[in-house]
Amino acid sequence: MDIYRAHVLCCGGTGCTSSGSAQIIERFEEKIKEAGLEKEVKVIRTGCFGLCEAGPVVIVYPEGTFYSRIKVEDVDEIVSEHLLKGRKVQHLVYSDHATHEQNANKGLADINFYKHQHRLALRNCGVIDPENIDEYLAFDGYKALEKALTSMTREEVIDEILKSGLRGRGGGGFPTGLKWKFTYNSQADQKYVACNADEGDPGAFMDRSILEGDPHAVIEAMAIAGYAIGASEGYVYVRAEYPIAVKRLQIAIDQAKEYGLLGENIFGTGFKFNMFIRLGAGAFVCGEETALMRSIEGKRGEPTPRPPFPAVKGLFAKPTMLNNVETYANVPQIILNGADWFASMGTEKSKGTKVFALGGKINNTGLVEVEMGTPLRSIIYDIGGGIPNGKKFKAVQTGGPSGGCLPAELLDTPVDYDNLIAAGSMMGSGGMIVMDEDNCMVDIARFFLDFTVDESCGKCAPCRIGTRRMLEILERIVEGKGEEGDIEKLENLANTIKATALCGLGQTAPNPVLSTLKFFRHEYEAHIRDKKCPAHHCQKLLQYVITDKCRGCTACARICPAGAISGNVKEMHKIDTAKCLKCGACIEKCRFGAIIKV
């Protein structure tokens, strides 16, 4: 085995790859070879480190020096200074946006973004080469599968998952062990294990990052699930927009087959299990379990009534057990370390950890994993670094298009399944979008409803027609054409759709509207009655005004595409509101802050 004195870990996740990390890796390999260090220094392409805002990320071990926002031209200096002379390149070392602290003499666990996290599902992401099965094996990979097959009965495996308290991380929070038990109890000549990797929430990329950074964890978990319920085949349904995830998952499946960890007679126990990838075309509704299974079968991806549930009649009309990527990522650790170990984390009814894609108006955008029960405030401020540019926090949306928006007074809400639902939102798959004072909550509701209207399969009338009527009302409101009674219409439609839609997409589609009405009703009323947007966001409700800060430089008049600004040089200018297009070009051009939106 080759032994290296230093390892250069480069993020190879989608975010960093889109910012040029592939070229950075090539340059490292080239410069290391030129320096004669190829036998001393190894370059490793990993999955996502989580701190996407700082990418492309490079970490040099054994020092653990965290370099951020690296460009190809920075590589030469890191090689010549750090790898050859042992001197850290200080100006490239990560600096926390919120505290401006550098990481020059800290370990990864000392950085604010990481030190408040508890990484279980993400434990190997950014640590190992996801395309090298030997690295996964070095981190106890496939030991859980070996343990399950050689020393546990199928019933004992299911019981361990039940006792752990693991709940489905795909949004519903259904007890995982119970789902396994139902499928185990179904009698059939063939059963299936399925994985939902059709992550469709705007801004969510938890499952993608796990598949890109630790695909073997999902393979191992699905094999364990196959043994537990009596299935010999597994399907991973992943959207085609995830090419890196698909590529690495296929490499991992091929490697597992080569090592005898998939296929026939695994660990000499007589158990056989094979896995297949099925690509989705990006339909959000295919995240719903019955729609997903129809799509795998080659049919139109639309939900079917339940019962029968998939545990009785799923893929190809056979009993099928479906979990999402993050749920599976926890399974090997539960089997290896025991149910009590996992159940010791989290809250009474929500055990373990949860991964969130933290985005929006936040300093540290990226993936975070915390114990269930961690307050929203800790995630947003301790880990996320707070709101950029000194703006005030306004709301956080959890649960994606199916979730709700929670205001500042609920920042101390512990994040778990039950508390979020009680607060008017939901866990969802793990999207967490932060909003500041400049966000209009009516327009936020309109945005998410527009998404669900577009993604509706159209099978049931409440979702197909009802959500479109709600969207039409919201569009009128943000355009200044709202009428008295619109709020009541929205509430009536929302409650009807929740009660009558066929699947989870339709049943939860009104949630962003209902939650914003609950906590930000005054913004709806201002739009309708005063024809004003309190956040100064909705263009049709804005007026641009030039204040007495104007110096008469004429820059705004020269940039205005509608010729709406007039005035003499060195005299205060005026805006003709009838001509104004409200494009904002004048505000961007004004050097004196003399133009405001009212």
Specify the pTM. 0.92
Distance (Å, rounded) from C-alpha 44 to C-alpha 165?
Answer: 35
554 in the Ramachandran plot: left (φ > 0), alpha (ψ -120 to 50) or beta? Answer: left
The tokens for 117 are 């996290």
CA atoms within 13 A on the CB side of 331: 35
Distance (Å, rounded) from C-alpha 419 to C-alpha 274?
Answer: 39
Residue 93 carries which DSSP code? B
At residue 200, the pLDDT reads: 80
At residue 106, the pLDDT reads: 64
Q: Which amino acid is at 247?
A: K
H helices of 456-584, in order, are 461, 467-478, 486-500, 504-508, 511-519, 521-525, 555-559
At residue 505, the pLDDT reads: 87
H helices of 152-214, in order, are 154-164, 176-185, 206-213
Beta-sheet pairing, 431-436 with 393-398:
antiparallel
At residue 98, the pLDDT reads: 59
At residue 557, the pLDDT reads: 93
At residue 199, the pLDDT reads: 87
- CB-based contact 339:206 (threshold 8 Å): no
Q: Tell me which residue of 227, 182, 224 sits closest to 321, measured CA to CA.
A: 182
At residue 408, the pLDDT reads: 96
At residue 539, the pLDDT reads: 86
At residue 470, the pLDDT reads: 97
Distance (Å, rounded) from C-alpha 587 to C-alpha 593?
Answer: 7
Burial 413-438 (b: 16+ CB within 10 A, else e): bbbbbebbeebbbbbbbbbbbbbbee
Task: Phi first, then psi: give them for residue 582, nearest 5 degrees.
Answer: 60, 40
Cα–Cα distances in Å, from 439 out to 436, 452, 533?
6, 20, 10
Distance (Å, rounded) from C-alpha 1 to C-alpha 15?
Answer: 32
Beta-sheet pairing, 565-566 with 574-575:
antiparallel
Distance (Å, rounded) from C-alpha 556 to C-alpha 193?
Answer: 62
Ordered DSSP codes for 344-359: TSB-SSSBSEEEEEEE
Q: Which amino acid is at 234?
A: G
Residue 57 neighbours by CB under 8 Å, 6+ apart:
10, 11, 16, 49, 51, 66, 67, 68, 70, 94, 126
The tokens for 231 are 């299935």
Residues in the chain predicted with pLDDT less than 70, given as ranges, are 1, 97-107
- The alpha carbon torsion through 378, 428, 328, 502 (nearest 10 deg) reads 170
Overall size of the chain counted in residues: 598
Peptide bond into 243 cis (omega under 30): no
Cα–Cα distances in Å, from 109 out to 10, 264, 357?
18, 41, 19
Q: In what order do the strands lie in the sheet with 6-11?
A: 41-46, 6-11, 58-61, 65-67
- CB-based contact 117:378 (threshold 8 Å): no
Residue 509 neighbours by CB under 8 Å, 6+ apart:
401, 402, 449, 452, 453, 456, 463, 467, 497, 501
Residue 66, SS3 per DSSP: strand
CA atoms within 13 A on the CB side of 313: 6
Task: Phi first, then psi: give them for residue 359, nearest 5 degrees.
Answer: -145, -170
